[in-house]
């Protein structure tokens, strides 16, 4: 299959572009992350793949979060959150945090621990990066959070959980 | 291996955090993309994995580009660029655009074509998304470009090229 959609192609082209965009985003594979935070002392977490490295100086990442989520409402400049990059055997955790389950129940599975400030992290994730919110930009339905890394937990070996085309995957090296 | 680095751990902790950040970012797998643009009619392209979906309405993505790159200098609000999400058999193209080769030589390999406005795209990539620059945010060494999708080219099947831990990978489904 090979096709191009443009907004000017026909009167009904904007829905076509929206559909093509959804199909295109299914093709953009990404490491699966659980983004965690606190709201009035209660733990919050969501599954996300819209996470990327931003700058090495300062060490920073960004994550795009739906503005209607409770985690988005809990984050503000100076507040902290954690990006947990999942291991290949943590698909069940990804599914739980990507579901409609209430927040308190989401943390029943997984070996959760807390940084000094109470932010939850998964010590058996591939890595956990505690960040301070150092910028927020709203665009469309989402808010971009710039996170300045403050503490990092790492594990080996490298065997990530990757999401693409609506399913979880593992990696194998290109021959 | 399992360790935590924090900026306050010791007087020399900031370099340690920088090292840990580099190791953490190696663990964040991502689909490999070639970002293309034009400068005075000449084609420019770089390899990038710091690309993510932003919002479905408007259909939009973001990409983080080093401010010292010629592509960064060529992009400004209203200008267009293309995000080409590579197929698993396009590792050679990723290597070329991630190298120090001069821009004109980078386009010698690959079946490049152009959108109406001259922006190059790869018709055999997994998808190519032509975007208008709809926002720019500088942070550290990089600039975040918000791209509003304007035209999309898709191919099947889903067999992406994924980068992680310093190497290219293919995917296989979690059993």
Q: Cβ separation of A142 and B55 shorter than 8 Å?
A: yes
Residues with Cβ within 8 Å of residue B96, at least 6 apart in sequence: B106, B109, B110
Rounded to an integer, what is the distance from CA B15 to the centroid of its chain? 26
Do residues B153 and B127 make contact, with C-beta atoms less than 8 angstroms apart?
yes
pLDDT of amino acid A117? 92
The interface residues of chain B toward chain A in range 46-75, judged by CB-CB distance below 8 A, are 49-62, 64
pLDDT of amino acid A109? 92
Q: Cβ separation of A91 and B152 shorter than 8 Å?
A: no
Mean pLDDT, chain A, integer:
93
Do residues A22 and B56 make contact, with C-beta atoms less than 8 angstroms apart?
yes
pLDDT of amino acid B175? 83
pLDDT of amino acid B14? 63
Res. A9: pLDDT tops 70: no
Residues B56, A99: Cα–Cα separation, whole Å = 19
For chain B, 175 residues long, give each residue's pLDDT as a single digit of tens: 455 554 443 444 467 999 999 999 999 999 999 999 999 999 999 999 999 999 999 999 999 999 999 999 999 999 999 999 999 999 999 999 999 999 999 999 999 999 999 999 999 999 999 999 999 999 999 999 999 999 999 999 999 999 999 999 999 999 8
Q: Cβ separation of B164 and A150 shorter than 8 Å?
A: no
Query: Comparing A7-11, A50-54, B23-27, B153-157, which segment has the lowest mean pLDDT?
Result: A7-11
The enclosing H or E element of B130 equals strand B127-139
Which chain B residues are closer than 8 Å to A64 by Cβ? 52-55, 62
**Where are chain A's structural domains?**
31-163
Residues in chain A: 175
The residue in chain A having the minimum alpha-carbon distance to the alpha carbon of residue B143 is A54
| β-sheet bridge partners, residue B36 | B45, B82
Strands A33-39, A80-85: pairing is antiparallel
Chain A to chain B, count of Cβ pairs less than 8 Å apart?
A: 257
Handedness of CA A79, A85, A90, A91 (dihedral sign): positive
Which chain A residues are closer than 8 Å to B53 by Cβ? 25, 28, 49-50, 64
How do residues B47-97 score in pLDDT, each as one tens digit?
999 999 999 999 999 999 999 999 999 999 999 999 999 999 999 999 999
Residues A49, A32: Cα–Cα separation, whole Å = 5
Give the distance from residue B8's alpha carbon to the nearest chain A alpha carbon, in angstroms. 9
Give the distance from residue B38's alpha carbon to the nearest chain A alpha carbon, in angstroms. 20
Before A58, cis peptide (omega within 30)?
A: yes
Tokens of A46: 């969501």
How do residues A71-116 score in pLDDT, each as one tens digit?
999 999 999 999 999 999 999 999 999 999 999 999 999 999 999 9
To which CATH superfamily is domain A31-163 assigned?
Electron Transport, Fmn-binding Protein; Chain A (2.30.110.10)
Residues B30, B168: Cα–Cα separation, whole Å = 10
Q: Say which of B57, B127, B165 has its CB closest to residue A27.
A: B127
Which chain A residues are closer than 8 Å to B158 by Cβ? 26-27, 164-165
Look up the CATH number of domain B30-163: 2.30.110.10
Do residues A145 and A81 make contact, with C-beta atoms less than 8 angstroms apart?
yes
The residue in chain A having the minimum alpha-carbon distance to the alpha carbon of residue B22 is A56
């Amino acid at each position: 299959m090979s096709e191009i959609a443009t907004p000017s192609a026909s009167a009904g082209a904007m829905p076509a572009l929206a559909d093509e965009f959804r199909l295109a985003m299914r093709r953009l594979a990404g490491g699966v992350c659980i983004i965690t935070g606190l709201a009035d002392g209660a733990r919050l977490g969501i599954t996300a793949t819209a996470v990327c490295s931003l700058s090495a100086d300062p060490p920073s990442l960004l994550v795009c979060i739906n503005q209607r989520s409770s985690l988005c409402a809990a984050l503000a400049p100076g507040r902290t959150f954690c990006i947990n990059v999942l291991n290949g055997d943590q698909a069940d955790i990804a599914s739980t945090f990507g579901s409609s389950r209430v927040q308190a129940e989401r943390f029943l599975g997984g070996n959760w621990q807390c940084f000094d400030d109470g932010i939850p992290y998964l010590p058996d994730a591939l890595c956990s990066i505690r960040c301070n919110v150092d910028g927020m930009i709203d665009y469309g339905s989402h808010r971009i959070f710039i996170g300045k890394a403050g503490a990092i937990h790492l594990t080996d070996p490298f065997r990530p959980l990757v999401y693409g085309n609506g399913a979880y995957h593992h990696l194998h090296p290109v021959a």
